[in-house]
Structure 1
Amino acid sequence: MSKHRLSVVVTRRLPEVVETRLSELFDVTLREDDTPMTRAELAEAMKAADVLVPTLTDEIDNALIGQAGDRLKLIANYGAGVDHIDVATARQRGILVSNTPGVLTDDTADMTMALILAVTRRIPEGLAVMQRGEWQGWAPTALLGGRVGGRRLGILGMGRIGQAVARRAAAFGMQVHYHNRRRLRAETEKALDATYWESLDQMTARMDVLSINCPHTPSTFHLMNARRLKLMKPDAVIVNTSRGEVIDENALTRMLAAGELSGAGLDVYEHGTDVNPRLRELRNVVLLPHMGSATVEGRIEMGEKVIINIKTFDDGHRPPDQVVPSML
């Protein structure tokens, strides 16, 4: 007798090759259009499915998990961050949670360097001049930025992505410093030629560029609050390709507008798509629409991880990328 096929609901459109493979392996309900599910649609999906495949645009809190049907046994998240899922409540209900770590490391680190260069070398300002047709030719003092080589880079969060940023920054001649919950092993620290700071305050005060590469957890919410942002040097730059909630966006906007910070490069925002309008008006800020992980290769690899997690679970084993509350 053939084995019962798992019922899987996918909440957003995924790359076609991923959707096709999911359909071959499982009884899949795919999204028709590329819009986030409503809360009511999510609740219905969680009542009917064995497995839910959500993305970071789906807020799966304890109330939604409380409405889940008895069938739901796995939330196989399409993405590395799981701050939109109440993992502890899911665990209490006997629902496993998995994610897709590692595959977006290089893509996000590339974007971090792109933002550092864009802000320090004033690339968007040069682009705007060209697009307006205002360029009058080369001039010795036009659009002068700063050299990245020799600058001190402070990395907040030295996990996979932080370390990938460190390797890239070193190739550009930057001095790498970092603050992390736990200090790296001595051999890793040596290989990265990175200086550890136990005090985030002290590191923040001495850096030329600060890169946010830590996840959003209750302990990192507004880690860069108004007080800590004010410790930064006036000619320093801050870059965030992690989670918007780590920075107090209003405080950052005020400081940038007042010239108390040299610039910022942001790919993520505290309130999702509701970006502070004053932030959008500032010339010393480069804003991107959460593109850090947006490569074709990365998106397909994320899908492959989701499929492996579901397949392993279906075969009666622990998903390789299972997330447990103690990890958060």
Structure 2
Amino acid sequence: MNVLLSTAFVLTWSSGFIGAKLGAGSASAVTVLMWRFLPLAVVLGLVALVLSRAAWRGVTARDVGRQAAVGALSQSGYLLTVYLAIQLGVSSGTTALIDGTQPLVAGALAGPLLGQYVSRTQWTGLGLGVAGVVIVTAADFSQGGATPAWAYLVPFLGMLSLVAATFLDRRAPRTVAPSVAMTTHCVTSAVVFTGLALASGAATPPAEGSFWGAIAWLVALSTFGGYGLYWLILRRSGVTQVNTLMFLMAPVTALWGALMFGEPFGPQTAVGLAVGLAAVAVVRRGERGAERHPAAAPASRGARVSAASAAPGPRVRTGR
């Protein structure tokens, strides 16, 4: 089941970069994002009122406020930077790989924030991930074109936004039902992007069928598929499991982008992606080693208990 969930997550999350590329050809980033989330927020709001009232029972204003903050970071902040980077000319595969450096930051913060042990082998794998990012980014930039050098920093801002959302959610005193979290996140994003679109005069959608095709793609595959599975796997398997899967987004997206849009995929790109895949293997090996030799972790028993309480498991869920 975990393999199936992981595979579905990689494919559907990668589809978001492709959908962003599809939408970029017909409208601005804020226009696409507004119309991705506004109808979705209305539908989810109606579902919450009619079908999922039980899930909202016991949910406090503080719970909703925390989930709104998580949604603003993990959807609004993250997606806006991804869409802007692709509109600026950064390839979808490079954007995906830059976002895939999330494990480096998450790994550095997992100890002090969640009490989770990160082994030396895992750090080696995470370092390989950075090397892969550098190789692929250099290959993309060397293709020339009108893409400014600073545009490659934009996806890093999105990655940091997603990392912040992940830890904000993991440090919550209690979790809410997935339907509550998804609805709150999408309503928050709808408000943010509608405000940005209205302020910039970009709220009117284009009439092209390709625009609405991209919106349908993003809602069905990226939001319900990728985003929903992200939080499901995070709560079932933990931060490290999700973040190592992020390294797999780059090769899938790069191949997808090359086939659909003719984006560059030369030997240097292939080498960089191979290094990224090697990073996944090394990090996984470090995880298995830590499981076989738990005594090797310098954490005290109390710290391990703290880590266990932060990881997915029998936590109190509102509305349950």
More strand by share: 1
Q: TM-score range by the shorter chain?
A: under 0.3
Find the structure with the greater CA-based Rg.
1
User: TM-score, normalised to structure 1's length?
Assistant: 0.24
Relative contact order higher in (CA < 8 Å, ≥ 6 apart): 2
More helix by share: 2
User: TM-score, normalised to structure 2's length?
Assistant: 0.24
